[in-house]
Chains A and B, each alone.
Chain A
Amino acid sequence: MNPQHVISIRFYATIFGALLVLTLSTAGAAFIDLGGNLNTIVALAIATVKALLVILFFMHVRYSSRLTWVFVGAGFFWILILLTLTMTDPLTRDWLETTIGR
């Protein structure tokens, strides 16, 4: 037998409702000028929360084995390495005054 965790329809509906509310709030927040890069940061923060809700509950990771957590974590940790380590170069090029190559 598979030790499957059955989630109630009511709980799924709650997650579903939260995802719809977050979708509307991210579309609404896009029209407000928050200044600087804050619009992008807010949009990506909401997207991350939505993704976490889907991964933890719709994809049942919350109720899965520790080994599953390691596999899932490795996949998403990798993309963070890819994005952050790469962006350390283009985002910091203007931090130091230099005449080399200019």
Chain B
Amino acid sequence: MSDFPAIHAHQFDDAAQQHEASWLGMWVFLATEVMFFGGMFLGYLLYRTTYPQAFASASNHLDLWLGTINTAVLICSSFTMALAVRAAQIGQKRPIIIFLVLTIVLGAVFLGIKFTEYHVKFEEHLVPGSAFAYDGPLGSSAEIFFSFYFAMTGMHALHMIIGLGLLTTLVVKTARGRFSVSYNTPVELVGLYWHFVDIVWIFLFPLLYLVGRHLR
């Protein structure tokens, strides 16, 4: 890959300042994402302290093995994303594309497993709404747990789908030779986004799947 000099917009002194501005801008966006997910985490926390038994009981209806496998899949995709960013930093075109495609494949595997889990929940009547059915006296508060489960994992999955779109455009741009050693900011920033989505799942996994295992 040829290393053409970085072109910077006229409001910046040089390419380094432009890069720092993009980097900080992405972190401001991620801070708003922390706040967005933070609201849901707070809601979860309030209801879990109000209905601890129902949350523990409902949590045991989730498939721990699929959840653990999905966590590992997402961590693998973060690893391949980190390697794609590294390849972009040192200007290796083919490795960027290979690692980006691997990240896309792993992200798709995650969504596939998530889809399977959702499907089972529909069949078991564990989706909140008029068809919700739950044995025992904890039914109505277990429904609250599943509302949080679907809202939080659904929002997370939506972020994954957006991430897959961003990764696909990166593959096209890399193939067209838009990135070099001196300009690879978009790869870095999409990397930040992808790792952030991974972090959200790192907290969702124990809070949704591991609440009541030890009580069984």
Contact = CB atoms under 8 A, between A and B. Distances in A.
B195 A6 contact: no
Interface in A12-61: 12-13, 16, 19-20, 23-24, 26-27, 30-34, 39-40, 43-44, 46-47, 50-51, 54-55, 57-60
Given A1-B16, A6-B86, A75-B31, A68 B68 contact: no
B182 A87 contact: no
Interface stretch (B42-50, B111-119, B142-150, B169-177): B42-50
A21 to B, nearest CB: 11
Contacts of B78: 16, 19, 54, 58
Contact of B79 (A12, A23, A26, A86): A12
B34 A33 contact: no
A100 to B, nearest CB: 20
Most B C-beta atoms less than 10 A away, residue of A2, A75, A90: A2
B31 A54 contact: no
> Which range contains the number of B residues in contact with the other chain?
35 or more
Contacts of B6: 1-2
B210 interface: yes
A15 to B, nearest CB: 8
Interface string B1-14: 00000100000000
A46 B27 CA distance: 24
Contacts of B61: none
Interface string B24-56: 100110110011001101100110011000000
A58 to B, nearest CB: 5
B133 interface: no
A7 B210 contact: no
A65 B20 contact: yes
Given A2-B19, A2-B182, A83-B45, A12 B86 contact: yes
A96 interface: no
Interface in A50-102: 50-51, 54-55, 57-60, 64-65, 67-68, 71-72, 74-76, 78-79, 82-83, 86-87, 90-91
Contacts of B132: none
6 contacts: A1-B15, A2-B6, A68-B24, A78-B35, A86-B45, A90-B49
